[in-house]
Chains A and B, each alone.
Chain A
Amino acid sequence: MLDFLRSEGIGEEIIGKIESFRRAYPLEENNASRVPVPRFRYYGKDIWEKALIALLSGENVLLVGAKATGKNVLAENLAAVFNRPEWDISFYLNTDAASLIGTDTFRSGEVRFRKGPVTQCAEEGGFGVLDEINMAKNESLAVLHATLDFRRVIDVPGYERIVLKPCTRFIATMNYGYAGTRELNEALASRFMVINMPIISEDNLDKLIKSQFPALKQEYSAQLAGLFEDIRKKCENSEISTKALDLRGLLAAISLVGNGLSLGEALELGIVNKSFDDFERQLVSDMITTRIDGKLTRTELFES
Chain B
Amino acid sequence: MNEVTELQKKRAVNTIWNTADDYGFQPDFKAYDSDGNAEIYLNCIIGGVYRYYDYPKLAELFSAFSRYEDDADTYEGLLWLGLENAVYPRLLQERPVLESLRRDYAKRLVSMFGNTAPDDYYLLDCLTFGHYLRVLGTEPEISRYDRRLLDELEFSPDLDTDEIISLSKELLQKWFQITNFEKRKERKPFVLFTIKQRNRRSKAVRLHKYSFSFFEHPKEFGTQANDSLNRFDVKTKLSEEEMQAFIAGKFGKPIYSKAKTAELERQLCSGNHSFCHLHFTRGEYAPETIRSSFEAYKKEEEAKQRLRNRKYYKDRYTVSRAAIAKLSGAIQNSVLLHLQPTPVIADTGLLCGGRAWRAQYLDDNRIFIRNDQDNLGDFCVDILLDASTSQEKRQDIVSYQAFIIAEALTRCGVPCRVSSFCSMSGYTIMHIFREYNSPHDNEKIFDFVSNGSNRDGLGIRAEHYLMNLSPYEHKLLIILSDVKPNDSVKIDYGPDRVAYYENEAGLNDTAIEVRRARSDGIAVVCVFTGEDRDIPSARLVYGHDFARIASLDRLSDTVAMLIQNQLRMI
Name A residues whose Cβ lies closer than 8 Å to a Cβ of B: 93-94, 96, 98, 103-107, 109, 111, 114, 137, 178-182, 219, 223, 226, 230, 233-234, 237-241, 277, 279-280, 282-283, 286-287, 289-293
Which chain B residues in 296-327 approach chain A with CB under 8 Å? 318-319, 321-323, 325-326
Main secondary structure of the interface of B (DSSP, over half): helix
The answer to the question of B159 belonging to the interface, with a C-beta cut-off of 8 Å to chain A, is: no
Cα–Cα, bound, A181→B564 (Å): 12
Q: Which residues of A contact B350 (CB under 8 A)?
A: 104
B residues less than 8 Å from A179 (CB atoms): 328-330, 332-333
Which residues of chain A are within 8 angstroms of B333 by Cβ–Cβ distance? Answer: 179-182
A-facing residues in B364-399 (Cβ within 8 Å): 365, 367-368, 370-373
Whether B367 pairs with A93 at a CB distance below 8 angstroms is no
CB-based contact B15/A180 at 8 Å: no
Q: How many residues on chain B are close to A (CB under 8 Å)?
A: 50
Within 8 Å CB of B371, what residues of A?
A: 96
Q: Closest B-chain residue to A289, C-beta based? A: B40
- Among A226, A238, A241, residue most surrounded by chain B Cβ atoms (within 10 Å): A238
* CB proximity of B8 to chain A, nearest CB, Å: 9
Q: How far is the CB of A292 from chain B (nearest CB, A)?
A: 6
Cβ-closest chain B residue relative to A280: B321
Q: Which residues of B contact A114 (CB under 8 A)?
A: 348
Known A-B contacts A104-B368, A105-B365, A238-B323; A290 and B351 likewise in contact (beta carbons under 8 Å): no
Interface residues of B in 1-51 (CB under 8 A from A): 7, 10-11, 14-15, 17-19, 21, 23, 38, 40, 44
Contact partner of A239 among B318, B337, B368, CB < 8 A? Answer: B318
The reply to whether B322 and A238 form a contact with Cβ atoms under 8 Å apart is yes
Expressed in whole angstroms, the Cα–Cα distance for A219 and B321 within the complex equals 35
Are A233 and B21 in contact, CB atoms less than 8 angstroms apart?
A: yes
Question: Which residue from chain B places its CB closest to the CB of A288 in the assembled complex?
Answer: B97
Identify 15 residue pairs between A and B in the complex whose beta-carbon atoms are under 8 Å apart, listed by A's number. A104-B350, A106-B367, A179-B329, A180-B333, A182-B333, A182-B337, A237-B17, A277-B321, A279-B10, A279-B11, A286-B15, A286-B18, A290-B97, A290-B98, A291-B97
Chain B positions near chain A (C-beta within 8 angstroms): 7, 10-11, 14-15, 17-19, 21, 23, 38, 40, 44, 94-98, 100-101, 318-319, 321-323, 325-326, 328-330, 332-333, 336-337, 339, 347-351, 359-360, 365, 367-368, 370-373, 553
Chain A nearest CB, measured from B89 CB (Å): 16
Complex Cα spacing A289 to B102, Å: 12
Given contacts A109-B360, A179-B330, A290-B15, 15 further A-B contacts (CB under 8 A): A93-B336, A96-B371, A98-B349, A103-B349, A180-B333, A182-B337, A219-B96, A223-B95, A234-B18, A234-B23, A237-B17, A279-B321, A290-B95, A290-B97, A291-B95
CA–CA, A96 and B318, complex, Å: 39
